[in-house]
Amino acid sequence: MTKLSQAPELIVESWLNTDADLSLEKLRGKVVAVYAFQMLCRGCVEQSIPQARRLHELLAGQQLAVVGLHTVFEHHTAMGRASLAAFVHEYGIGFPVGIDQPAAQGSVPQTMQRYQMQGTPTLLLIDQHGRLRRKSFGHLDDIQLGAEVMSLLRESDAEHSPMESKDSSGTGCRAD
């Protein structure tokens, strides 16, 4: 069996859509989907962000946290905090969005460097123990994402409750 590695902590300059700073440590116990994006990235705007919004809306209240990470590696002057705040409002993004800490030198922000991201969009899936389970560059199909998230959520449920068969459809035959 492969030993899974701990996900590196996000290095965030500031947060939008949350009253308190977030960290992977604070989110431990939940499955975390981190969507790294740029607001001037076509794939992010057309596919990744809508997918993140759907995931957040569909699984709100579950043991899942959806987090955006605005990671700017180009067009720095056009994508500041004020522009991002307007973007988050206009696109109806309701989940927390962190601003990746700019690089000390060079153009690639610190979390992007830490995770060795190739670009945006990038999806990180982190299990309830804080282990990185997926890092993918580009768009991940909704069905594949849903299956992987549900698998991670079921791992979490299996650790916290006994296995029990449930008939959710109401069409089963019971032996009473």
- Residues 80-92: what's their mean pLDDT? 92
The domain tally of the chain equals 1
Q: Which are the contacts of 29, defined by CB distance < 8 A and separation ≥ 6?
A: 63, 128, 156
pTM, rounded to two decimals:
0.85
pLDDT band per the 50, 70, 90 thresholds, residue 76:
low
- Residues 142-167: what's their mean pLDDT? 72
Q: Report the C-alpha gap between 76 and 32 in whole angstroms.
A: 27
Residue position matching structure tokens 């409002």: 89
- Domain membership of residue 87 (yes or no) is yes
Among candidates 7, 11, 38, 31, which has minimal Cα distance to 148?
31
The token pair at 22 is: 């977030």
- Domain membership of residue 162 (yes or no) is no
Pinpoint the alpha helices (H) of the chain: 42-43, 49-58, 81-90, 110-114, 142-160
Q: Over the chain, what is the mean pLDDT?
A: 86
Residue 144 has pLDDT above 90, yes or no: yes
- Residues 47-54: what's their mean pLDDT? 96
- Domain membership of residue 138 (yes or no) is yes
SS3 content of the chain, % helix, strand, coil (to 5): 30, 20, 50
- Domain membership of residue 168 (yes or no) is no
- Domain membership of residue 42 (yes or no) is yes
- Domain membership of residue 86 (yes or no) is yes
Contact 110, 11 (CB under 8 A): yes
pLDDT band per the 50, 70, 90 thresholds, residue 164:
very low
CATH number of the domain encompassing residue 145: 3.40.30.10
Q: Which are the contacts of 26, defined by CB distance < 8 A and separation ≥ 6?
A: none
Q: Which are the contacts of 101, defined by CB distance < 8 A and separation ≥ 6?
A: 11, 12, 13, 109, 110, 111
Range of the domain at 81: 12-157
- Domain membership of residue 146 (yes or no) is yes
- Domain membership of residue 76 (yes or no) is yes
